[in-house]
Amino acid sequence: MNMMVLRSGDEIIVIDAGLMFPEAELLGVDIVIPDTTYLKQHRHMVRAIVLTHGHEDHIGSIPYIIGDLDVPIYGTSFTLALVRKRLEEHGLLDDADLREVVPGQHIELGPFKIEFLHVTHSTIDCVALAIRTPVGVIIHTGDYKIDQTPVDGAPFDLHAFARYGREGVLALFSDSTNVERPGFTPSERAVVTRMEELFRAAPKKIVVSCFASSIHRIQQIIDIALQCGKKVGFVGRSMVDNVEIAHGLKRLRIPDGSVVRPQDLRTYDPQKLVVLASGTQAEPMSSLSRIAVDNHRLISIEENDTVILSARIIPGNEKAIFRMIDHLFRRQVLVYYESGRSAPIHVSGHASQEEMKLVLNLIRPKYFIPLHGEYRHLFRHAALAQQVGAVSGEIFLLESGQPVEFTADGAYRREPVTAGRVLVDSGSLEEIEEVVIRERRHLAEDGVVVPILAIDKHTGRLESQPEIVTRGFLPSDDGQELMNKAREVILKTIEQSTAEEKTDWGVIKEKIRVDLKRFLNKQTAKRPLILPVILEI
């Protein structure tokens, strides 16, 4: 979730505040945000949140934590435009203090003097941070690759990296995502060849799906479409929003007359149409998912249309994405996605090994801390640094919540602080406790058992045999005998209760639940959710 805290004396700055989309086993959880207990405990010390770039995994939790912190947020213009949008959606914009910075700019936050250094990545306006502290300079790369031919012409600021390297850097914190890839990550421009080929070959309309934040990609798709004599349309909320934001900031060149209005997409000459759609990961309600089953409000998909998936297939989403691709093939659509054989229709935004080595060699830090990735990525990035031999002091492999203290004479691991994840159901904007997830897992795995009792409200006597309804627990014929025994368990529970207990529905329900749970668990080794219902007669 990419949140790093830098503290000097009694002053704190926070670098990035991202969110994560949950794994499938977190049932009903929409998003996961970092546990900010440490920041809440030290609220009076927190000076600011400083952002490296506008990807969800770096800005997404701001609406959920800014209420507790109430500090200024620093970022570049595109990054802040995306933050503004999120805050607006949560009705928090009026209270927010957003401060725009540009690459090359210096700001001072208490003991920290920060310079923003431009880096290249899959989105625009990304920066690394060079932070002067009382004990030395710290470099935080943010997410980066070294794109030597960036689409927007804004190069990775290698000169600044070299300058800090010459001056001497205390610690380097660097992106580890693609450490398993040898060589260099191709430039964003690498997708042009194949994309152009596909655009020229397409017999009918073209739908391209990419991440809505991939402004470079969107620009190139627009450019190629126009070169091929086609016009572009945009569908999907995030796609439309981001295009609007980037265009408003003059970061996307869209010539007048090159856009087909949403309501005209259906009737526009398919041979002259390229539609940019969001939903690369086959998210259930996304544009591309709907298009794939021909259930989109604005466009329909037909035989010989072309669909290009210009994005990575994120692990965990394969099933959904390939199901969507199958739907498209069934409709005789020409589908193209990353298969590793031909020229790329997607390139990564993260550095490969050679770029990581270059950064290590330019910075030559005393201490090195790999960031961003699973533990194996951090581990391999540490090994790579070892191999390069550019780190004069120690390399720290840190888990979330593990602080390192830098002093005038060394760097030391300190006692871990509270860190971890908070689960959010975005429908209710409430935190979900782990216990709720556990209950949902019981429901999903072992089903539900509902004993129904009709009790006389005056005497507390059962009016009839208890009914038991089950769902997802046992097939009803197999379960018949078990349910007969379960009924006896319920009868015994009631028999053994006092008159007082019998008229207190809360108590009697809980007793039935506990006894039934013990019985069913013993008989079936399952733990269904048990929900007693009592009808007063």
Cβ nearer to Zn ion, comparing 55 with 205: 55
Q: Clarify whether 175 is annotated catalytic.
A: yes
Q: Is 504 in the site for Zn ion (CB under 5 A)?
A: no
The pairing of beta strand 106-109 with beta strand 112-119: antiparallel
Stretch that binds Zn ion, among 53-61, 334-342, 424-432, 505-513 (CB under 5 A): 53-61
Q: Is 188 in the site for Zn ion (CB under 5 A)?
A: no
Angle (CA) 526-530-536 rounded to 5° is 155
Element (H, E) at 434: helix 434-446
Length of the chain: 537
Cβ nearer to Zn ion, comparing 233 with 370: 370
DSSP state of 295: -
Tell me the closest approach of the beta carbon of residue 78 to Zn ion, in angstroms: 12
In this structure, what token pair is assigned to residue 528? 């269904």
From start to end of 149-204, where are the E strands? 171-175
Tell me the closest approach of the beta carbon of residue 301 to Zn ion, in angstroms: 30
Tell me the closest approach of the beta carbon of residue 121 to Zn ion, in angstroms: 5
- The one catalytic residue in 140, 350, 372, 381 is 350
Q: Clarify whether 30 is annotated catalytic.
A: no
The order of strands in the sheet holding 273-277 is: 231-235, 273-277, 206-209, 306-309, 334-336
Burial state string for 156-176 with b = 16 or more CB within 10 A and e = fewer than 16: bbeebbeebbeeebbbbbbbb
In this structure, what token pair is assigned to residue 235? 């569908």
Cβ nearer to Zn ion, comparing 1 with 395: 1
Tell me the closest approach of the beta carbon of residue 142 to Zn ion, in angstroms: 8
Cβ nearer to Zn ion, comparing 316 with 410: 316
Cβ nearer to Zn ion, comparing 115 with 125: 125
Cβ nearer to Zn ion, comparing 143 with 223: 143
- The one catalytic residue in 16, 125, 143, 175 is 175
**Burial category of 98 from C-beta neighbours within 10 Å (exposed 0-12, middle 13-18, buried 19 and up):** middle
Cβ nearer to Zn ion, comparing 119 with 309: 119
DSSP state of 23: P
Tell me the closest approach of the beta carbon of residue 1 to Zn ion, in angstroms: 10
Q: Is 55 in the site for Zn ion (CB under 5 A)?
A: yes
Burial state string for 255-277 with b = 16 or more CB within 10 A and e = fewer than 16: eeeebbeeeebeebebeebbbbb
- Candidates 16, 56, 125, 143; binder of Zn ion (CB under 5 A) is 143
**Spatial separation of the C-alpha atoms in residues 515 and 354, rounded to whole Å:** 63
Q: Is 327 in the site for Zn ion (CB under 5 A)?
A: no
Tell me the closest approach of the beta carbon of residue 216 to Zn ion, in angstroms: 12
Stretch that binds Zn ion, among 7-15, 139-147, 313-321, 395-403 (CB under 5 A): 139-147
**Spatial separation of the C-alpha atoms in residues 256 and 394, rounded to whole Å:** 55
CA 60, 64, 68, 71 dihedral sign is positive
Max CA pair span of the chain = 88
Task: Return the closest-CA partner of residue 385 out of 394, 398, 375.
Answer: 394
Q: Is 57 in the site for Zn ion (CB under 5 A)?
A: yes
Cβ nearer to Zn ion, comparing 55 with 331: 55
Q: Is 446 in the site for Zn ion (CB under 5 A)?
A: no
Task: Return the closest-CA partner of residue 3 out of 29, 36, 46, 30.
Answer: 36
Stretch that binds Zn ion, among 138-146, 208-216, 271-279, 488-496 (CB under 5 A): 138-146
Q: Is 366 in the site for Zn ion (CB under 5 A)?
A: no
**Spatial separation of the C-alpha atoms in residues 88 and 69, rounded to whole Å:** 17
- What contacts 389, CB < 8 A, 6 or more positions away? none
Q: Is 283 in the site for Zn ion (CB under 5 A)?
A: no
Q: Is 312 in the site for Zn ion (CB under 5 A)?
A: no
Stretch that binds Zn ion, among 56-64, 166-174, 178-186, 299-307 (CB under 5 A): 56-64
**Spatial separation of the C-alpha atoms in residues 69 and 47, rounded to whole Å:** 9
Tell me the closest approach of the beta carbon of residue 244 to Zn ion, in angstroms: 21
Q: Binding residues for Zn ion, how many (CB under 5 A)? A: 3
Tell me the closest approach of the beta carbon of residue 55 to Zn ion, in angstroms: 4
Which residues contribute to the site for Zn ion (CB under 5 A)?
55, 57, 143
Q: Which residues are catalytic?
A: 175, 350
